[in-house]
Amino acid sequence: MMPIMLPWILHIDMDAFFASVEQLDNPELRGKPIAIGGSSDRGVVSTASYEARKFGVRSALSVVKARRLCPQLILIPGRMKRYKELSRLAMGVLQEFSPTVEQASVDEAYLDGTGLERLFGPIDEVGRRIRERMVEVTGLTCSVGAAPVRFLAKIASDMNKPDGMFIIRHDEVETFLHTLPVKKIPGVGKKAAATLERLGVRTCGDVRQKPKDHWEKRLGKQGGVLHDRACGIDNNGVIVWTGAKSCSAENTFHEDTADRGLLTKWLLAQSERVGGDLRRHDYKGRTITLKVKFADFKQITRSKSLEGRTDNTALIFETACDLLEQLELRRPVRLIGVGVSNFEPRARQVTLFEEAPQEQEATSELDQAVDSVRKKFGSKAMIRGDLLEFHKKQPK
């Protein structure tokens, strides 16, 4: 009889990806605290090197605060084209080991490791080979987590960063979960952790002291998911994403223009279209892209990846405006557009105790209300005040 193959899922996370790419390409930056983000004080940090993290510089931190924490911080605007290039190489490395690879973002992926032990040896050896091959092909390090289920693999990849590996073996799951803080479960943020702490829950062991229906009564459907996770249950496997890649809107003008005010109006109208399309098809994206074509037909794109994925019209618009603000318009513009990409592999899958900043929650409710009115009475039934005159002036 053939031995039973134990299930394995691996989570591969590139170490401080954007910052590491900059240090790879520019040796003078190695060993120095650097951060990727906008050059203006309104910008936010998207990634920080490990040298900068020692000072408390983290993703989503404002540039002003980051500089305050680390005065010697080197701020770099970022090169999305280069990051995507190395991301493709990294994903190619993973596909050398398994045909079932799910890219979760530009710098992380899940890999179905079931059966790989027959080809490469024990799971420890699989992880070691992946890390070695990643350095050979990309020049960058990654951290690997391996576990019987998906959410534990993600937790494991964060245990020995950078350039490390952590394995949660099948017979270790119970012990590992007993003392695991609930805030370590993907989807349990600060707000949810505080709610659980008020209920006397700090670890997965605390959750398991009560039956599943207890948590469903207290916290609804997500309470049941919380109990499942605390018991090591996760039915989500590795899915190769083959859905839509992006959603965008663009317009070519009847007359070229360098009027930033007018360009901003167009971005708002386009952000509404894109946001509405995303919500209608149950997609959320992480990367916002601005496209500009000048009067001489030269075309450029500028992109920014957010900390989380969004279908929020206001956030899409604000990010596109930030990208436009960074451009020097030395020539008139004949086309402008905005797009959202890097979608969630599972469309609109709600994470456990999904959270958003308070002002984003309010805007999301506004988006839903506007969508509802337009669905019932037509796309022109509700128009933003900022766009009322703008729409009247556009050619029919």
The catalytic residue positions are 108
Rounded CA gap, 311 and 364, in Å?
8
Pick from 90, 68, 73, 70: which is nearest to 24 by CA?
Answer: 90
Rounded CA gap, 41 and 54, in Å?
21
Pick from 306, 38, 37, 39: which is nearest to 48 by CA?
Answer: 37
What is the C-alpha R_g of the chain? 23
Provide, for the chain, the percentages of residues in helix, strand and coil under a 3-state DSSP scheme, each rounded to the nearest 5: 45, 20, 35
Phi, psi of 59 (to 5 degrees): -60, 145
Residues 6 or more apart in contact with residue 123 via CB below 8 angstroms: 8, 113, 116, 117, 146, 167
Q: What is the DSSP letter of 16?
A: T
**3-state class of 15 per DSSP?**
coil
Beta strands in the chain (DSSP E): 9-14, 34-37, 45-48, 74-76, 101-105, 108-112, 142-147, 165-167, 246-257, 285-294, 299-310, 333-343
Q: How far is CA 353 from CA 121, 185, 219, 312, 356, in A?
A: 38, 10, 9, 18, 10
Pick from 103, 94, 98: which is nearest to 113 by CA?
Answer: 98
